[in-house]
A and B are shown apart, each in its own frame.
Chain A
């Protein structure tokens, strides 16, 4: 009866020493990796040990080009930026939270162990022992929700829930953007003399206006807001009536443009012809273009809306 607590008493400083050692190890590793620990199976186990007194953020990713993981590459800079920002925190708090990365090609066993099948995945391991242990007391990791995108601001905001102090992330000053801005302004002022007549030309404005209209009615805003891809491999038409890919916008805008242009040709250009034969050729040509392109458009629409009962040529 008495032996047990004694043993425990004995073991306590031991394990304390042990965690202290691991912590130093981890700090060293983090330093080596410029704030990010590159994980293998062993370091993963020590980082996520069940008696850890620190919290950790681990990103599971596959950066190797063979894996063709686009989102991983997209996300990596954000993660690095946030980890860098954590480096600025004083050492006492800094060593309470670690950023780590597990690449599929370097530590596949971790992936199989955790059953992670997609990447990137961000896990937040809360503190399991000590004063910072969360109120619910569960040591299991939580997964970061990517629905807010890969932006570093949102990531830093969310991860700050797990760190002892806020991550002092500040978005870098976009010098390139300001530079371009200044340069464009400079160029514009210098060539204003030449541009001005262009600005006063109604052709310019007509092109801008009609271009905008075509792109908008082609569903550009849908693609932008929903972040739809340009195309899905060979499929460039998204299934379903309420969806579309980037390439569709282009095709549709082009189709509209050709059709509208054909009408303009018939109305505004053809009557100017002085030669009868050339005019007839034009008129017939544009009429046929309208008919064919319209058929194409309808057939495209039938692909999107399967129940549509009408069809022309195609």
Chain B
């Protein structure tokens, strides 16, 4: 005799400028790293409209969380050599930031076991032992073996078309299975992680890995940059090292006479992390019986019910939410314990952003939920 209403949503989906959630950014920058060395990255952010606040990791002010309220919309941690942070920055507080709606951009330390490195495990990332950076002897180049040009891999977040190789130096990591992870940049297949640049102990490593039954820290399965979208839609960007954000790497040649793709790459990745790009939202949901307009509290079995929703996407250029009809595989579920009906929810061509479907309520009493569950990487 009835159906109930409730719409659940899990959305994540591309572009560039101001965030959909806020403009304040806190950068925890180690004193050893000069702000000027990262000017391309930071200035890029400022130009987009972000307000950057800098703070050394050990400073107490400005606090990350005050009175249980996150003080910044985004937090960037570039502190590869800092072992101890101020009291308000702990793995726990960083995680709690996510629940308070703050996005994170974290760079791992290739040398030390910092807070950030130990936090990685919580995000289903597996790190090699400290002091084992990524090494590759190919292609032949004048830089040390630890500074590697990486060809961007296909990923949903950073458009790779026309993007030149990206210089990388830092630590790689492996994934454990987690649907919330989004790979962005993978290591080149001829690279590996090792604690020395000489190849003397290579055989030993292989043997040890073989014996222990573990995989090798090598190959394209290792990741260098990854995105993570938590439940609650906050986003985290993991990078294997801070250097890729630096001016030096941005200006370095990766192909003859051309600057590397670093500047573009990090800007795009940050745009995703700061929820500028690929942000969708459901504006409204409505349901009613065919030939009626008002929703009912209960529907009778075998009623024909119309369900429609309106979805828009954030346009960072103009900072407005625009109707979005680009989803072709949206589905609606009518669920009581298990979905009784699962149907596609196609866009209405005449009305941008509008999706609508009509279906017959199953011949079953109970409390049903309308569920739209659209999860795509990116």
- Verify whether A and B have any Cβ pair under 8 Å: no
Q: Chain A: residues with CB nearer than 8 A to chain B?
A: none
